[in-house]
Chain A
Amino acid sequence: SQTIHQWPATLVQPVGSPLSLECTVEGTSNPNLYWYRQAAGRGLQLLFYSIGIDQISSEVPQNLSASRPQDRQFILSSKKLLLSDSGFYLCAWRDRVTNEKLFFGSGTQLSVL
C-alpha cells in the first residue's frame, strides 16, 4: 500500500533562517506531488506541484522554492524565512494515471519568530 511521510511535524525557526521540509512517498511510482500551505483557520493554498523529476510548477510568487531530486521525494525550501511564512504545510501525492484524489501527509506546523 502507498504511504506518505512528511517531516518534521513541528518547527520553530527565527526570521532569516533557512528552511527544508521533506516529503517522501512509498508504494507508488511517478506520482504527482504537491505542497500546500494552510494559514490558521483558512483554506489550502497551492504552492507547488510536480509532474516529474525536476518538473516543478509554482503557483504563487513567494519566498519559497521546491525541488524533486528523486521520483518520490519532494522538498520545500527557503533561504531566508519571513514571518509571513508561518503556517501549516502539507505535502500530498496523486496517482498520475487517474489524476483524481489527493493523499496528504500529516503536515508540518511552522512558526517563524
Chain B
Amino acid sequence: SQQGEEDPQALSIQEGENATMNCSYKTSINNLQWYRQNSGRGLVHLILIRSNEREKHSGRLRVTLDTSKKSSSLLITASRAADTASYFCATAPMGAGSYQLTFGKGTKLSVIP
C-alpha cells in the first residue's frame, strides 16, 4: 500500500527560485527519507530524517518532519536546471515492518533555465 503521498504531483519553477515539496504519511515511522530520480534512472538517496528530529539540512536541501501531522517537506533552495527530476519520499515503519521502505508517487520538478 502507498504510505507516503507527495504534493504537488508536478512543480515548474524558474532557475534560482526555491522549490518546496510535501509528503504525508499514515502510520508511525522510524524515519523518513527523500530520494531523487532522473528520468529513466535509479533513485538516489538525498537525506534521511529520524522520527525524533524536526529539521535537517544538507547543502541546498532542507527537510522538516512533523510527526504530529504525519507530514514532511523538502525545500530545495536556489534551484538549478540540474535539479530537474522526480522527488520521492519514503517511510520506514516502526516495528516488524522496518525492513520495508514504502515510497510515494513522487513530485516531478522542472527547473526552467
What is the distance, in angstroms, from A95's C-beta to the closest C-beta of chain B? 12
Interface size on B, residues (CB 8 A): 23
Residues of B within 8 A of A43 (CB): 2, 88, 103-106
A15: interface (CB < 8 Å): no
Q: A106 to B103, Cβ gap below 8 A?
A: no
Residues of B within 8 A of A42 (CB): 105-106
Residues of B within 8 A of A34 (CB): 101
- Per-residue 0/1 for A38-53: is the Cβ within 8 Å of any B Cβ (1 yes, 0 no)? 0000111010010100
Number of contacts between A and B (CB, 8 Å)? Answer: 56
- Per-residue 0/1 for A86-110: is the Cβ within 8 Å of any B Cβ (1 yes, 0 no)? 0010101010000111111111010
B12: interface (CB < 8 Å): no
Interface size range of chain A in the complex: 20 to 34
Residues of B within 8 A of A104 (CB): 42-44
Tell me which of A90, A94, A100, A105 has the highest count of chain B C-beta atoms within 10 A of its own C-beta.
Answer: A100
Q: B42 to A46, Cβ gap below 8 A?
A: no
Residues of B within 8 A of A94 (CB): 101
Q: Which residues of B contact A (CB under 8 A)?
A: 2, 31, 33, 35, 40-45, 48, 88, 90, 92, 98-106
Give me the 6 closest cross-chain CB pairs, A-B, nearest first.
A104-B42, A43-B105, A44-B103, A101-B45, A104-B43, A43-B103
